[in-house]
Amino acid sequence: MATGIVHVEFHGADLIGRLHQGQPFVAMRPIVEGMGLDWSKQLEKLKSHPVLARQLSTLRGMVAGDGKGRQMQALPLSRLPFWLATVNPNKVKAAIRERVILFQEQAADILAAAFLSNGTRQDAAMAKRVAGTVMCRILHDTLVGLGRDPKGYDYATEHRLVNHCITGVFGGVCEDSLSIDQLKLQQELRMQNAVWIGQGMAYRERKPLLEQHAVTWCRTQEIGWEDPNAS
């Protein structure tokens, strides 16, 4: 994984990431303002959120677009999909709705790609494991929010769903049997699945969407991958 600070130009917004104690963090203000949201209100919500408040860190040396160092509020990259899922596009102004959705769909992936741009197989494997942890955490929090017992859910089902999209097999997959591109696809699908879980989307709705997302993402990334679920 790349070291130091990463900058990503995303639809006019300068998104900033930085490694902190070996973990990728992302500056939240550029993301919030890039979506067209009010930073002060969103920061207040972050600080009062029972889960995200514990993850929020103040990092020094985050270099802004003007080249000057800044002290910024940041979240672990693994928690960004969780926060994005807390923003309801139906409750924002119509003028920024599509932009909010665009960030929800792509911002986390764009930042993850920046950190992994020159990554090795080991980096890709680690990233997909982190994504798996994120997916399960968001699922746990979503179940709790719905008043359901998270201990009664078969979390492995979500991993099998992702594996099915990649290999056509609804079951476990040996990490060593996957190529670097497949590991990256696995990480991407876990992160996307996490976003949809956080938005309250049911399993039966996510399954076909995740299969299609695998095809679309590989085409966008120009990855030569044969869809095992194509008819």
Looking at the chain, the whole-number percentage of residues with pLDDT higher than 70 is: 90
pLDDT in the model for residue 204: 92
Average pLDDT, the chain: 85
pLDDT in the model for residue 19: 79
CA distances from 20 to 15, 102, 122 (A): 16, 27, 19
Q: Which helix (H) or strand (E) holds 230?
A: none
Whether the pLDDT of residue 65 is over 60: the answer is no
The CATH architecture annotation of domain 5-115 reads Roll (3.10)
Angle, helix 156-167 to helix 180-198, in steps of 10 degrees: 130
What are the sequence ranges of the domains in the chain? 5-115, 120-220
Q: How far apart are CA 63 and CA 71, in angstroms?
A: 9
Which region among 11-15, 61-65, 163-167 has the lowest average model confidence (pLDDT)? 61-65
Summarised one tens digit per residue, pLDDT across range 34-44 is 999 999 999 99
Whether the pLDDT of residue 1 is over 60: the answer is no
C-alpha angle 119-121-124 in degrees, rounded to nearest 5: 65
